[in-house]
Structure 1
Amino acid sequence: MNNFKEKADLIWKVADLLRGDYKQSDYGKVILPLTVLRRLDCILEPTKQKVLDFLPKVQNLKDSAIDVALNKAAGFNFHNRSKYNFNKLIADPNNIAVNLRNYINGYSSSAREIIEYFNFDDQIDRMDDPKADILFRVVKSFQEIDLTDMDSMQMGYIFEDLIRRFAEQSNETAGEHFTPREVIRLMVNVLFIEDKDILTQEGIVKTLYDPACGTGGMLSVGEQYVKELNPKAELKVFGQEINPESYAICKSDMLIKGQNPSNVKFGNSFTADGLENEKFDYMLSNPPFGVDWKKAKNAIKKEADDLGMSGRFGAGLPRINDGSLLFLQHMMSKMKANGSRIAIVFNGSPLFTGSAGSGESNIRQWIIENDCLEAVIALPDQLFYNTGISTYIWIVTNHKSKERKGKVQLINATGAKDEELLKEGQRDFNRFWQKMDRSLGNKRKKIAENGNTKGIGFITQLYGSFEENEFCKIFPNEFFGYWRVTVEQPQKENGKTLRNKNGEPKPDTSLRDYENIPFLKKDTQGKLVPQTIEEYFKREVKPHLPEAWIDHSKTKIGYEINFTKYFYEFKPLRPLVDIKADILALEEKTLEMEKTVLE
Structure 2
Amino acid sequence: MASQGNSGSDLEFEAELFKAADKLRGNLEPSEYKHVALGLIFLKYISEAFELHRKKLLQEEYADPEDAEEYLAANVFWVPPEARWDNLQANAKRPKITFVDVNTGKEREGDIGSLIDNAMDSIERANASVLKDVLPKEYGRPQLDKTMLGELIDLFSTVGMHGAGKNSRDLLGRAYEYFISQFAGAEGRRGGEFFTPRSVVQTIVEMLEPHNGRVYDPCCGSGGMFVQSERFIESHQGRRSDIAIYGQERNHTTWKLCKMNLAVRGIDADIKWNNEGSFLNDAFPQLKFDYAMANPPFNISEWWQPQLEGDVRWQFGQPPAGNANFAWLQHIIHHLAPRGTAGVVLANGSMSSQQSGESDIRKDMIEKDVVDCMVALPGQLFYSTQIPACLWFLARDKSANGHRHRKGEFLFIDARNLGYMVDRTRREFSEDDIAKITDAYHRWRAKPEAGLGDYQDVPGFCRSATLEEVRKHGHVLTPGRYIEGIEAEDDGILFADRLAGLVERLESHFAESAALQNKISETLAKIA
TM-score, length basis structure 1: 0.64
Is this contact kept in 2: 1:376–1:393, CA < 8 A?
yes
In structure 2, give the amino acid aligned to 1:176: E
211, 215, 228: which one aligns with 2:218: 211
254, 259, 263: which one aligns with 1:255: 263
Residue 318 of structure 1 aligns with which residue? 320
Is this contact kept in 2: 1:177–1:386, CA < 8 A?
no
1: CA distance, partners of 2:64 / 2:369? 61
Unaligned runs of 5+ in 1: 60-65, 200-204, 416-432, 482-517, 521-557, 572-599
Residue 381 of structure 1 aligns with which residue? 379
1: CA distance, partners of 2:81 / 2:59? 12
1: CA distance, partners of 2:188 / 2:238? 42
2: CA distance, partners of 1:220 / 1:412? 26
Q: CA deviation at 1:560?
A: 2.4
Q: CA deviation at 1:36?
A: 1.8
> Which stretch has the larger CA shift, 382-391 or 90-99?
382-391
The 5 Å alignment of 1:195-234 reads: 205-231=212-238, 234=242
Residue 275 of structure 1 aligns with which residue? 284
The 5 Å alignment of 1:230-379 reads: 230-231=237-238, 234-261=242-269, 263-267=270-274, 268-290=277-299, 292-294=300-302, 296-298=303-305, 301-305=306-310, 307=311, 310-312=312-314, 315-318=317-320, 320=322, 322-336=323-337, 338-355=338-355, 358-379=356-377
435, 452, 458: which one aligns with 2:420: 435
Is this contact kept in 2: 1:177–1:387, CA < 8 A?
no
Unaligned runs of 5+ in 2: 1-7, 98-111, 447-453, 488-528
2: CA distance, partners of 1:81 / 1:126? 26
Residue 39 of structure 2 aligns with which residue? 33
2:422 is aligned with 1:414: no
Q: CA deviation at 1:68?
A: 4.2
The 5 Å alignment of 1:110-129 reads: 111=127, 117=133, 120-126=136-142
2: CA distance, partners of 1:564 / 1:220? 32
The 5 Å alignment of 1:22-171 reads: 22-48=28-54, 68-72=69-73, 75-92=74-91, 93=94, 94-95=96-97, 96-107=112-123, 109=125, 111=127, 117=133, 120-126=136-142, 134-146=148-160, 158-171=175-188
2: CA distance, partners of 1:58 / 1:40? 16
- SS class of match (1:90): helix
Deviation per CA, 1:154-174: give whole Å up to 9, x if none: 666644543444344444258
Rg larger in structure: 1
Q: CA deviation at 1:225?
A: 2.1
Deviation per CA, 1:170-204: give whole Å up to 9, x if none: 44258537333333333223223xx9xxx5xxxxx
Deviation per CA, 1:421-459: give whole Å up to 9, x if none: xxxxxxxxxxxx3535x42x632342334897x465456
- SS class of match (1:121): coil
2: CA distance, partners of 1:70 / 1:390? 47
Is this contact kept in 1: 2:14–2:178, CA < 8 A?
no
1: CA distance, partners of 2:169 / 2:483? 39
- SS class of match (1:269): helix
Distance 1:39 1:479, change over 3 A: same
2: CA distance, partners of 1:42 / 1:448? 32
Is this contact kept in 1: 2:35–2:136, CA < 8 A?
yes
- SS class of match (2:336): coil
In structure 2, give the amino acid aligned to 1:400: K
Is this contact kept in 2: 1:282–1:341, CA < 8 A?
yes
In structure 1, give the amino acid aligned to 2:36: V
- SS class of match (1:14): helix
477, 481, 487: which one aligns with 1:561: 477
In structure 2, give the amino acid aligned to 1:330: H
Deviation per CA, 1:280-329: give whole Å up to 9, x if none: 11111122233x241x321xx42233x3xx23576221352x42322211
Is this contact kept in 1: 2:184–2:195, CA < 8 A?
no
1: CA distance, partners of 2:195 / 2:22? 21
Identical aligned residues as a percent: 23
Q: CA deviation at 1:215?
A: 2.2
In structure 1, give the amino acid aligned to 2:46: L
Q: CA deviation at 1:266?
A: 1.8
- SS class of match (1:209): strand
Q: CA deviation at 1:127?
A: 5.5
2:452 is aligned with 1:472: no
In structure 1, give the amino acid aligned to 2:344: I
- SS class of match (1:332): helix
Q: CA deviation at 1:141?
A: 3.2
1: CA distance, partners of 2:469 / 2:24? 60
Is this contact kept in 2: 1:209–1:237, CA < 8 A?
yes
In structure 1, give the amino acid aligned to 2:313: G
In structure 2, give the amino acid aligned to 1:39: Y
Q: CA deviation at 1:48?
A: 3.9
Distance 1:111 1:389, change over 3 A: farther
- SS class of match (2:140): helix
Is this contact kept in 2: 1:185–1:221, CA < 8 A?
yes
Is this contact kept in 1: 2:194–2:221, CA < 8 A?
no
- SS class of match (1:404): coil
Residue 203 of structure 2 aligns with which residue? 186
1: CA distance, partners of 2:469 / 2:155? 60
2: CA distance, partners of 1:2 / 1:333? 36
Is this contact kept in 2: 1:387–1:442, CA < 8 A?
no
Count of equivalent residues? 444
> Which stretch has the larger CA shift, 239-248 or 103-112?
103-112
Residue 3 of structure 2 aligns with which residue? none
The CA RMSD over aligned residues, in Å, is 3.8
Q: CA deviation at 1:100?
A: 2.6
Q: CA deviation at 1:58?
A: 11
TM-score, length basis structure 2: 0.72
In structure 1, give the amino acid aligned to 2:352: F
In structure 1, give the amino acid aligned to 2:288: K
Residue 405 of structure 1 aligns with which residue? 407
The 5 Å alignment of 1:488-499 reads: none
In structure 2, give the amino acid aligned to 1:106: S
2: CA distance, partners of 1:451 / 1:165? 22
1: CA distance, partners of 2:238 / 2:226? 17
2: CA distance, partners of 1:103 / 1:51? 23
Distance 1:170 1:162, change over 3 A: same
1: CA distance, partners of 2:203 / 2:196? 11
> Which stretch has the larger CA shift, 168-177 or 205-214?
168-177
2: CA distance, partners of 1:166 / 1:394? 27
In structure 2, give the amino acid aligned to 1:35: I
In structure 2, give the amino acid aligned to 1:252: M
